[in-house]
Amino acid sequence: MRNRLVVFAAAFVTGLHSAATAAGSSSPLPLLGPPPGQDGPRLGVFEEHRDIGTPSHPGDVAFDESSGRYTVTGGGGNMWFARDDFHLAWTEASGDVSLAAKARFLGEGADPHRKACLMIRQDLEPDSPYVGVALHGDGLTSLQFREVKGGDTREVQANVEAPDRRRLEWRGGYARMFLASGADAPIYSGAAIRIAFRPPFLVGIGVCAHDDQTTETAVFSGVELSTDLPAASGEPVLYSTLETQSIASTDRRVVHVTRGRIEAPNWLADGSTLIFNSEGGIFRLPVAGGTPGLIDTGFATRCNNDHGVSPDGTRLAISDQSQGRGQSLIYTLPIAGGTPDLVTPEGPSYWHGWSPDGATLAYCAERDGEYDIYTIPVTGGRETRLTTAPGLDDGPDFSPDGGFIYFNSERSGTMQIWRMRPDGGGQEQVTFDVFNDWFPHPSPDGRHLVFLSYEPDVDGHPADRDVTLRTMPLGGGEVDVLARLFGGQGTINVPCWSPDGSRIAFVSYQLIPED
């Protein structure tokens, strides 16, 4: 196994060679120089550079050994969709890798979306799979990626603009973005995606003008490349990221990232506020980001991840386990907080849906050893059992016209999405695939259904698993992938659509090594 190699661009190449040999590397670090067959200055930690794609104006790289700075000039119309046009300096790598640097653009720039990138790329083809930390000319910073050859580029946007230092890490099959301001070390930004690369792959820095009629230049300094990252020395730390995603563009944006576990976001009726649960409490947070605020839920101090907002935006439904025998019971309270009113005296009962007219709650409950779907008047009273099939039925949510209740059921042998009339009639299967599909949520505009998919070998809906968010037309049709992430329990347990149906909110997770 090769030893860890940490390379600082400010060091001389001969010094790098000596350091690697002294560290006991299985083979000497090769002297780095200009691309084969070319004369020119050394490229520090990178071996070669060239245009990717077909920019109209050629790019270039200059490396200053004394300062460790790289001046990269690139043309090209974009790094997006199914192909890229830009200039890249790179070296080959295998195994887990980390690349960090500061970057700044020279000049005003012709386009606000010119990009200076840290990148891991499968190969030099313009449609290659890749992941990169992209700093835009207007300060937007994102983790952008193409998962498969020829696929479209997607991104996770940070909630920090124009960070001073950026780090891209690919470790254990996940790429993560770390950002810093001032003299602080980069910290986890909340942006992470799972993506596969075959060794060897390329790691480097690049610039795209975002305007094929010109070139743009960025200076990269403090470049630090680490390969063959060692195994973590201690227990990893759980981080939760509250994100939103546009259905039209599939762009994801980080709203809030924190150590520990948060779960199950809902939107308030104003479309600018989210709520979520953590450690038994319900919290409110602006979609634009900020500091979460605890909602007063009175005696209900053990709220779980089954909660949501009434259609008129005035009431909050919660499922809480603080009373009686400690079983989950459903309550409602004013949206601003207050004393909860009991709806389901019998437990365990887990809220999942509110009828469009505001009169009825739908929930999953265990009665006599069977978990089924029930409804009950919002003011309490007699509950109605809607499903009787053996096995688990869970996750009921109303369609926006009130004509159907969507739910997940394992009655077919695997967990699939079903739907039925509000009285329990006309039960029919909606998804037919090898995955285990959970928590269907119809969009408020009646166009889409979003749900969570586990791999075929996963039982139940555990936390901290590789999962996929998928969507399909509400009336039936082709299933599309919205995002692949580390998540599961807590990601989208409850209604997660923005009031206008344009975005969803969800929680992703990462287990980050302390080092």
Where are the CATH 2.120.10.30 domain residues in the chain? 237-512
Confirm if 398 and 379 have CB atoms less than 8 A apart.
no
CATH topology (fold) of 5-227: Jelly Rolls (2.60.120)
List, for residues 466-511, the tens digit of each pLDDT value. 999 999 999 899 999 999 999 999 999 999 999 999 999 999 999 9
What integer is the mean pLDDT of 272-292? 98
pTM for this structure? 0.91
pLDDT digits (tens, 9 = 90+) for 13-24: 333 333 333 333
Confidence band (pLDDT; 50, 70, 90) for 184?
A: confident
In this structure, what token pair is assigned to residue 150? 């020829």
CB atoms within 10 A of CB 399: 21
> How many Cβ atoms are within 10 Å of 79's Cβ, its own excluded?
28
pLDDT, tens digit (0-9, with 9 covering 90-100), for 36-94: 333 344 699 999 999 999 999 999 999 999 999 999 999 999 999 999 999 999 999 99
Q: What is the average per-residue pLDDT within 201-209?
A: 98
Question: Residue 307 to residues 31, 57, 314, 417, 467: CA-CA distances in angstroms?
Answer: 60, 55, 14, 20, 22
Q: What value does the mean pLDDT of the chain take?
A: 92
DSSP type of residue 77: S
pLDDT in tens, 283-334: 999 999 999 999 999 999 999 999 999 999 999 999 999 999 999 999 999 9
Mean pLDDT of 344-367: 98
pLDDT tens per residue, range 90-136: 999 999 999 999 999 999 998 999 999 999 999 999 999 999 999 99
Buried b or exposed e, range 273-308, using 16+ CB within 10 angstroms: bbbbbbeebbbbbebeeeebeebebeebebbbbbbb
Q: Contact at 8 Å (CB) between 396 and 364?
A: yes
Q: Which of 148, 121, 118 lies closest to 133 in space, CA to CA? A: 118
pLDDT value for 515: 64
- Cα distance between residue 196 and residue 217, in whole Å: 30
Whole-angstrom Cα distance, residue 498 to residue 273?
Answer: 10
Please report which helix (H) or strand (E) contains residue 15, including its range.
helix 13-22
Which residues belong to CATH 2.60.120.200 in the chain?
5-227
Q: What pLDDT score does 181 carry?
A: 87
Query: What CATH class is the domain 237-512?
Result: mainly beta
